[in-house]
């Protein structure tokens, strides 16, 4: 049976969603603090000698092929004159608080995605004649005037399209997808723009002769489920621009974790297991403030190998001990059986007392 069509639901078809994304946020704050860095390649990230990675970079740096999550050492190879700074998270949070305060002038229906990204539902707003486009323009203008930060915005009937639209005219851009434009816009959209379609899924889709959403629409729901399991239904919906998710003003923490990148690769499983006790101590410290209200449901171990391939292993356990984590670490390590650059451990958490358990989110 095919999923329900949101177009048949008047409430869904009347939605007005804005996705707001600050342009190279951490780097933008640094350039405000240091105007002399405005036109030079700049990145915020960890030191190369400590195997750090790039958190974000400005557009002059992106011209060299630098991007977030790239190892800092590689970024410096691409651009030897790159200005690499460790960053000031306290300052970034101050600026982010200012920006979100501006968002709240227009609606209380705000779903933060990260420190510099959010969805706004302005479906029932009477401001600016109820025009989501004018509201997005006003927000962008006020943020720029009051903080100096530029924000790109996407306006559409649902979260999926609004997020795609916010990236369409970056930086400092606005893209509006009207209901009349939606079908044509989605049809020409590359499948790599669909959330959850990473390199492997994209490669598999290309093998099926699918590079755009129009081509993806030619595959039946059953075919997609056969090839991609549960994600197949999601692909079927998003290929048609369908997304029924609401803007959620409250996100409950579903998990808690710690991870560590090592200055030198851990050569074997034994050396990984030697790190377990320290990681578990850090995890327990982080869990302490949730102990009274949140039950542990499971344990998770993450292993990232020296070629940046990564895997996770998990199991249900209400009182995970060192033996549980050691078993999961052994399982994960044997999938790659090569030197390791990063290890992580975490707990899956139950719902708060008196609340139904929500859908589980990825831990790492």
Residue 290: predicted pLDDT: 78
* Residue 49 annotated to the active site: no
When the pLDDT of each residue in the chain is averaged and rounded to a whole number, the result is 89
Return d(Cα 7, Cα 152) in angstroms, integer.
27
pLDDT band at residue 355 under the 50/70/90 scheme: very low
Which helix (H) or strand (E) covers residue 43, if one does?
strand 42-45
For 210-237, the pLDDT digits (tens) are: 999 999 999 999 999 999 888 899 999 9
Task: Exactly one of 117, 246, 330, 331 is catalytic; name it.
Answer: 117
- Which strands, in side-by-side order, build the sheet including 54-57? 54-57, 42-45, 83-85
The long-range contacts involving 100-105, CB below 8 angstroms and separated by at least 24 positions, are 102/139, 102/142, 102/143, 102/146, 103/20, 103/139, 105/142
State the average pLDDT over residues 244-252. Answer: 84
- 8 A C-beta contact, residue 345 and residue 277: no
Return d(Cα 119, Cα 139) in angstroms, integer.
13
For 69-87, the pLDDT digits (tens) are: 899 999 999 999 999 999 8
What domains appear along the chain, each with residue ranges and CATH number? 15-24+90-180 (3.30.70.270), 28-88 (3.40.1170.60), 183-238 (1.10.150.20), 255-349 (3.30.1490.100)
Return d(Cα 349, Cα 357) in angstroms, integer.
9
For 274-328, the pLDDT digits (tens) are: 999 999 999 999 888 777 778 889 999 999 999 888 999 999 888 889 999 999 9
Task: Specify binding-site residues for Mg(2+).
Answer: 21, 116
Residue 352: predicted pLDDT: 61
Task: Copy the structure tokens of residue 235.
Answer: 């692909």
For 70, list phi and psi in degrees, rounded to 5: -75, 140
State the average pLDDT over residues 135-154. Answer: 97
State the average pLDDT over residues 339-343. Answer: 94
Residue 154: predicted pLDDT: 97
If 0-12 CB within 10 Å is exposed, 13-18 middle and 19+ buried, where does residue 50 land? exposed
363 pLDDT above the threshold of 50: no
Torsion of CA 255, 256, 258, 259, to 10 degrees: 10
């Amino acid at each position: 049976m095919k999923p329900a069509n949101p177009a048949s639901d008047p409430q869904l078809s009347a939605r007005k969603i804005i996705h707001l994304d600050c342009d190279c946020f951490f780097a933008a704050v640094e350039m405000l603090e240091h105007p002399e860095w405005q036109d030079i390649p700049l990145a915020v990230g960890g030191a190369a000698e400590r195997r750090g990675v790039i958190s974000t970079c400005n557009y002059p740096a992106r011209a060299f092929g630098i991007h977030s999550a790239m190892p800092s050492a590689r970024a410096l190879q691409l651009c030897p004159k790159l200005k690499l700074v460790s960053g000031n998270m306290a300052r970034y949070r101050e600026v982010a608080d200012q920006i979100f305060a501006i968002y709240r002038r227009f609606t209380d229906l705000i779903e933060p995605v990260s420190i510099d990204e959010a969805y706004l539902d302005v479906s029932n707003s009477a401001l600016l004649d109820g025009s989501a486009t004018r509201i997005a323009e006003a927000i962008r203008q006020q943020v720029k005037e009051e903080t100096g930060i530029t924000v790109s915005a996407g306006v559409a009937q649902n979260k999926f399209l609004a997020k795609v639209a916010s990236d369409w005219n970056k930086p400092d851009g606005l893209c509006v997808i009207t209901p009349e434009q939606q079908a044509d816009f989605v049809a020409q959209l590359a499948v790599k723009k669909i959330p959850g379609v990473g390199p492997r899924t994209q490669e598999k889709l290309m093998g099926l002769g699918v590079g755009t959403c129009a081509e993806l629409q030619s595959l039946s729901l059953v075919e997609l489920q056969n090839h991609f399991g549960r994600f197949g239904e999601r692909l079927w919906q998003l290929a048609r621009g369908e997304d029924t998710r609401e803007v959620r003003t409250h996100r409950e923490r579903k998990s808690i974790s710690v991870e560590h990148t090592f200055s030198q690769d851990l050569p074997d499983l034994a050396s990984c297991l030697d790190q377990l006790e320290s990681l578990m101590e850090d995890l327990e410290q982080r869990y302490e403030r949730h102990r009274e209200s949140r039950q542990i449901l499971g344990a998770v171990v993450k292993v990232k190998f020296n070629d940046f391939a990564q895997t996770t292993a998990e199991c249900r356990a209400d009182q995970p001990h060192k033996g549980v984590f050691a078993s999961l670490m052994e399982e994960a390590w044997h999938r790659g059986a090569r030197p390791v650059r990063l290890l992580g451990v975490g707990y899956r958490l139950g719902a708060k007392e008196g609340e139904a358990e929500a859908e589980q989110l990825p831990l790492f």
